[in-house]
Structure 1
Amino acid sequence: METKMKTLKKFALFCVFCLGALVTVYQSWGVMLMAFPGVIFLHKPLDVIHKNKYIALLFWFVLFSINWLFATAAALTYFFIHVWHLHQQNIPLNDSSYVKRAPRRINPSTGLLMKNRHFDMTGEAYGWKID
């Protein structure tokens, strides 16, 4: 089942690439449609290029000087692919994001959140014995 989905995804990306090639004949933004599947198909060679930051910078500079629209769409696609992979890994940012909060206390007589142990947000007392 998974191989069928991969084939279907590749076919859909190929259709988007072909649509971009057709649109490019009349409109220049069709190049952007061609960039998205191009980056996805060439993701592994792009990873090899990005092993060295100077080679990567040279690559994007040359691509930008050849066609800025294609380079912009390709760079954004490459960036979002990496953001998506980081999102899929579910890496926590730091341990402080798991700080336990104190349970909320609600005054049952007014239904308002308690500021402290004995007074709610409006200053109404709770838990005091009235003499």
Structure 2
Amino acid sequence: MVESYSNTQPIYLQLVQRICRQIVRREVQPGEKLPSVRDLAVQFGVNPNTIQRVNMELERMGVVESRRGQGMFVTEDSTRLTLMREHLKEELITKFASEMKELGYSEDEIIAGIQAFLLP
């Protein structure tokens, strides 16, 4: 399945975000083995070198661990996963709030809108 990508950000970073979101949503469990580089390249419709870069970035972030001869595994470090989840939440809230303020909404209007959405 060929994925669509934004032109505003490198593809490897978009894939890092997608995989992080899968982990946060528990579609990929802690300790679970990630598909091989070739399988992910086919799944995402990208070059295997792009997936290698994705794996390197995820490993640098501490989200996955490389096990020699076995592949890449999602970390079982619950602290690391909680930090990643919180970082994603803050990033999304910041983007949302900035865009709403840019449109001219006051903080009270933003809060009221969120409350109306969450508490129908």
More strand by proportion, 1 or 2? 2
Tell which has more relative contact order, 1 or 2 (C-alpha 8 A, sep 6+).
Answer: 2
Q: TM-score normalized by structure 1?
A: 0.27
